[in-house]
Amino acid sequence: MDSMKWEENQAGPSQPADEHEVAYPDDAEIDDYLVDKEGDKDEPEGTYASAEVVMQPGVEIAESYGIDPLVSAVHPCGIYCAAATRNMRWVFTGGEDGFIRKWDFAQSLAGTATLTQNQRHGLVDSIQKAGVLVSAWENEVQPGPGDPPPPEDPALVVPPAVSPVYSIDVHSEAVWCVTGLENGNINLWSVRHDEGHCQHVLRAHSSAVSVLKIAPGERSLISGSWDKRLLHWDLDTGSIIREYQGPGSQITSACFSPSAIALGGSDPADTAAGDSVLMATSFDGSIFLYDLRDPAGNVRKIDAKSCKSPPWAISACWSIDGKRIYCGRRDNNVDEIDFAEGLVLRKLKLPNNSQFVTNVSVMPNDRHLLCGSIDNIRMWDLTKSGETKRIEKERDRESSSIRPALPIKPAVKTDETAVKSEPMDEDGEPVVRWEDEGDGDGVVDEMEVEGAGSAEGSDNRDAGAGDGERAGEKEKTGPQKKEEPDEPPEVPFGIIPGHHGGVISHLLIDPSKHYMISSSGTRGWEGTSTNMCLFYEIKAVVAP
């Protein structure tokens, strides 16, 4: 009887034998459901579904921001990379120990798990909660096509090697994620279903994959490596679309331009897959710009020498309008570069004890810039000009202290007195010597020149006169002007609490601009790590 029913089912469709039996969807229906979840079909292919993200009210016109750390996701090692889903439901971190960790972001903020007394040591008072770790798996090196098959005896099977997670990025709905390995491979992991299983390996790089960035549309992937190669992958076929030329050093970062450059609009959510500008940085301080619409793949290069900066760059980001680029440097500076001309507009000078600027990120009002350095994270107000005025005044003083050499007229001696040697101009007339009049700064100020010229002239005319006559001569010239002291410069930045004393490996702001994540790790380069991953809450401060 059972075999007859099986033959009937194979011959054609039939009704379920039991009215309570559930008809499960087939693979095609599941694929259609996942495609529908990624975005509206009426929108062009590769366009983000902006309706899924609700921006914080007033965040784009805020005068400032209050950023407070609330959660510490405890790690036993340095965190090389971090990524999150679009709605910040899940957060993924890659560690130096080779583990990929999945955190429940919502439960971490709203839950009751707290840090122990030892874990709270050295943290600010607002950090009380502990991150909720959901799962973790190892970033294993998968066997290649040419590797020998495993032995039949289970006792002889060697466990696979584990690689540090040098880079990571995740699908917006957490369907899959990609991680970079030390040997140059890129593992594609399933996350939503059959979590932690490697579904495919992208093989092309020969050294550590330091950068992974899923392209808008989530159909392709950008990868950068220590082997100086920058590749564009097709995730549907697993093949290389293009290799971008230009980098001559290790790739350190990559990001896509906002939509204002590509589409001429102002909504950052309207970024299309084929209409973006890719920016990449290399360890030698160069910035590379690629237009993905250009079939030739031409590159615009902005090197460190043209920026008058040291040859070093770890992180760079776009402004919200896409007209400027911010790049962190090794000499405590952040270069603000004009995208159209490729010229440095200004340098944001951080305090000398801040050391390297290892990560930068722009806030949604396009007015504040987050600068992650060794000592802490600063939020720089780009509209304040106090620091700019001070830098310009220092440059003016440096230029005024350099004076051309003037010819000196030999001293003329008479029988009565000896006349001082005086500098002469081109017409042979005496010229007042530019000297520092006692303030010790090595610079001749205008008020010093006025007083010095009149006093020296009177002394030369009345060389034999007494002190009283010389004093009377000086009084005729009027009182000398005194230099007004420099006004103390307005501090153009504020310090965000939480981080201190380590390299910032990643700064992540969610699309709704409600939350921020920071992680500390060296990414395999120089520096020290605090092994901390902090979750922040962002509050917009809007003017009344």
pLDDT band at 154 (very low <50, low <70, confident <90, very high): confident
pLDDT of 49 above 80:
no
Q: Indicate the residue type of 403.
A: R
Tens digits of residue pLDDT in 398-436: 444 444 443 444 444 444 444 444 555 555 555 545 444
Shared domain for 508 and 442, answered yes or no, is no
Q: How far is CA 46 from the centre of its chain?
A: 25
pLDDT at 373: 93
Shared domain for 236 and 320, answered yes or no, is yes
Single residue among 447, 476, 505 that ends a domain in this structure: 476
pLDDT band at 484 (very low <50, low <70, confident <90, very high): low
Share of the chain above pLDDT 90, in %: 56
Report yes or no on 331 lying in a domain.
yes
pLDDT at 146: 78
Share of the chain above pLDDT 70, in %: 68
Shared domain for 265 and 294, answered yes or no, is yes
Q: Which residue has the higher pLDDT, 26 or 212?
A: 212
Adjacency order of strands within the sheet including 316-318: 316-318, 324-328, 333-338, 344-349
Single residue among 421, 447, 476 that ends a domain in this structure: 476
pLDDT of 531 above 50:
yes
**E strands, 129-263, in order:** 129-130, 132-138, 167-170, 176-180, 185-190, 197-203, 209-214, 220-225, 230-234, 239-244, 251-256
Shared domain for 341 and 373, answered yes or no, is yes
Three-state DSSP class for 35?
A: helix
pLDDT at 450: 42
Shared domain for 317 and 440, answered yes or no, is no
Shared domain for 440 and 291, answered yes or no, is no
Report yes or no on 523 lying in a domain.
yes
CA distance 170 to 162: 20
Q: Which residue has the higher pLDDT, 271 or 534?
A: 534
Q: Cβ neighbours of residue 95 under 8 Å, at least 6 residues apart?
A: 75, 76, 77, 78, 79, 80, 101, 164, 165, 521
DSSP designation for 527: S
Report yes or no on 292 lying in a domain.
yes
Q: Cβ neighbours of residue 36 under 8 Å, at least 6 residues apart?
A: none
Lowest-confidence region among 84-88, 211-215, 383-387, 490-494: 383-387
**E strands, 351-439, in order:** 357-362, 368-373, 377-381
pLDDT at 92: 98
pLDDT at 244: 94
Lowest-confidence region among 84-93, 200-209, 327-336, 393-402: 393-402
CA distance 314 to 500: 19
Mean pLDDT of the chain: 79
pLDDT of 487 above 90:
no
Report yes or no on 485 lying in a domain.
no
Direct distance between the N- and C-terminal alpha carbons of the chain, in angstroms, rounded to an integer: 79
Angle (nearest 5°) at CA 400 between 396 and 405: 155
Average pLDDT over residues 95-109: 96
CA distance 376 to 264: 36
Give me the residue label for tokens 């103390």.
Answer: 488
Shared domain for 337 and 431, answered yes or no, is no
Q: Which residue has the higher pLDDT, 51 or 253?
A: 253
Residue length of the chain: 544
Shared domain for 469 and 328, answered yes or no, is no
Shared domain for 320 and 464, answered yes or no, is no
Q: Cβ neighbours of residue 184 under 8 Å, at least 6 residues apart?
A: 203, 204, 205, 206, 207, 208, 209, 225, 227
pLDDT at 119: 92
Tens digits of residue pLDDT in 250-309: 999 999 998 633 333 334 344 444 458 999 999 999 999 999 888 888 899 999 998 999
Tens digits of residue pLDDT in 327-360: 999 999 999 999 999 999 999 999 988 889 999 9
Report yes or no on 486 lying in a domain.
no
Query: Going by DSSP bridges, is the β-strand pair 316-318/324-328 parallel, antiparallel, or unpaired?
Result: antiparallel
Shared domain for 337 and 298, answered yes or no, is yes
Shared domain for 374 and 250, answered yes or no, is yes
pLDDT of 77 above 90:
yes
Residue numbers of the domain that contains 282: 56-145+162-384+496-541
Shared domain for 174 and 303, answered yes or no, is yes
pLDDT at 424: 58
Average pLDDT over residues 38-57: 55
Count: domains in the chain = 2
pLDDT of 495 above 70:
yes
Give the residue from 265, 261, 231 showing the smallest Cα distance to 246. 231
pLDDT of 137 above 90:
yes
Q: Which residue has the higher pLDDT, 459 or 488?
A: 488
